[in-house]
Amino acid sequence: MTAERIQDGIPIHAATDVVREISADDTLLISGFGSVGYPKAVPLALADDEADYSLTVVSGGSVGAEIDVSLVEADAVDRRFPYQARPPIRESINDGAVAFHDRNISTLGDEVRYGGLPDGGVAVVEALAAGSDWFIPTTSIGQTPAFVRSADKLIIEVNQSVPEEVRRFHDIYRLGTPPNRGPVPLTDPGGRIGKNSVSFDPEKLIGVVQTDRRDQPYAFRDPTEADRSIAAHLRSFLEREVERSPLFEESVRIQFGVGSLGNALMGALGDADFDDRELIYFGEVIQDGLLDLLDDGKLASASATSLALSSEGHERLFEDVDRYAEDIVLRPADLSNSPALIDRFGVIAVNSALEVDLFGHVNSTHLNGTRVMNGVGGSGDFNRHSPLAVLALPSVAADGDISRITPMVPHVDHTEHDIDVVVTEQGVADLRGNEPRETARDLIESCAHPDYREPLEDYLARGIESNGHIPHDLDTALSWHANR
């Protein structure tokens, strides 16, 4: 391995040496988002170290097994913020062995910087290249700039498995400090206002570690029949909405949540008839479906904070960085998820969830209201600030044994005020302007699986008999979840 990407004079160390600068109860501010762009050598060295660690780990989004498996199995993690996506960390959180606090993505950097979450500590970041007071991130930006600004110390992993040309995607712009924070000067979703590197105080740098360990990218499942039906219903709804709403006179701006369903829904837009309007993506993650749209000439630009691609998708992108860099921009997460920019560009939000209740409340994170799955991620940022928030999900789970349309969700991530439209493989329920009884009837008739419509109707009827603006039957509301 060469040191060509590391500026002369920068201290280069083995990962086993730099971990000596990390205290047993330190806070680690970790780069990474969408399971890419996270450090690998230092977490593995910590996991193998004989010291008794009780670390607080903060990341901008999901990271790889080196952190959320190896560190957890080494019993080195005491607290975790604000998102996770691996079974070992999930099990430890649900068993109470690891304390977990879930947060919206857009405000995470500020919360670390201004003391709302653990600040200080050690920033451990992955880079393409590094100098005395700068480094260039790899396949994600996330909250890395804010973490580096907040940290007391900095360790940089220079990963030579990522092509240096990936720097062409980056547009790193730092927000000012309130109350003197000005508006973000971005007027085009695909525009650029920053630079490709993150600057830092040289006094913070402990050293640079070299690695060539690759990310553990997404493995998207093949679209199911339900996925294809959801995509068809969504496409038809959006075609009608674009035709009728002055919001889309010039272009269609859209965001999709990360995952296999979101990836499948992206692909469905390739067949949509938007009457020559440009299609623009403004969201958190670049997934394989967006590369397909770019290759087919059906997407004008794509702005995100992470290249959350499959192995095949990464190879495809790395082989033609110059062409894709004309249309793909990676920004810090406080811009990719910015409420102000979501509002400014009028971004359609399309996200999934575990379940939605008859009155529009959404549970994205907790099975039966108790066992956390991943985290709320950026869905709250987009659902709440989008002019059109769409919830897309199958009507059933567990091979039909569980209805995802339920009388009352046992945990609320998004309220009835955050969601405008619900789409399942059964159809579309447009909830805008509805009162609660209308919302319930629309969801039963248009989105619920036929096997569950009658019991849902019975529940609604019992609630109506009890009167009230929201007609719940509280005696039986949670019985739908009790025996799962």
**Which residues are part of the catalytic machinery?**
284
Q: Do 262 and 352 touch, CB atoms closer than 8 A?
A: yes
Question: What dihedral do alpha carbons 458, 459, 460, 465 form, nearest 10°?
Answer: 90
Helix (H, G, I), strand (E, B) or coil at 294: helix
Burial label, 474 (beta-carbon count in 10 A; 0-12, 13-18, 19+): exposed
- CA dihedral (38, 308, 5, 145) positive or negative: negative
List, in order, residues 6 or more apart from 283 with CB less than 8 Å away.
Answer: 254, 255, 256, 303, 304, 336, 347, 378, 382
Q: Do 425 and 226 touch, CB atoms closer than 8 A?
A: yes
List, in order, residues 6 or more apart from 459 with CB less than 8 Å away.
Answer: 358, 407, 473, 476
Distances (CA, A) of 178 to 113, 114, 183, 271, 319: 11, 10, 11, 44, 42
**Rounded Cα gap, residues 256 and 431, in angstroms:** 20
What does the chain come to in residues?
484
Question: Which tokens hold the place of 417?
Answer: 């005020």
Please enumerate, as own/partner, the contacts of 13-18 that have beta carbons within 8 Å and a separation of 24 or more.
13/206, 13/207, 13/208, 13/209, 14/45, 14/209, 15/41, 15/42, 15/44, 15/45, 15/157, 15/209, 15/211, 16/45, 16/48, 16/49, 17/207, 18/42, 18/45, 18/155, 18/206, 18/207, 18/209
**Rounded Cα gap, residues 26 and 342, in angstroms:** 35
Question: Which tokens hold the place of 272?
Answer: 């949509």
Helix ranges, 49-204 (H): 65, 72-73, 87-94, 108-113, 144-150
Per DSSP, what are the bridge partners of residue 24?
none
State the CB neighbour count (10 A cutoff) for residue 297. 8
How many Å is the Cα radius of gyration of the chain? 23
**Rounded Cα gap, residues 183 and 114, in angstroms:** 19
Q: Which amino acid is at 8?
A: D
Q: Which amino acid is at 228?
A: R
Instruction: Tell me the angle at which helices 260-268 and 225-244 cross, rounded to the nearest 10 degrees.
Output: 50
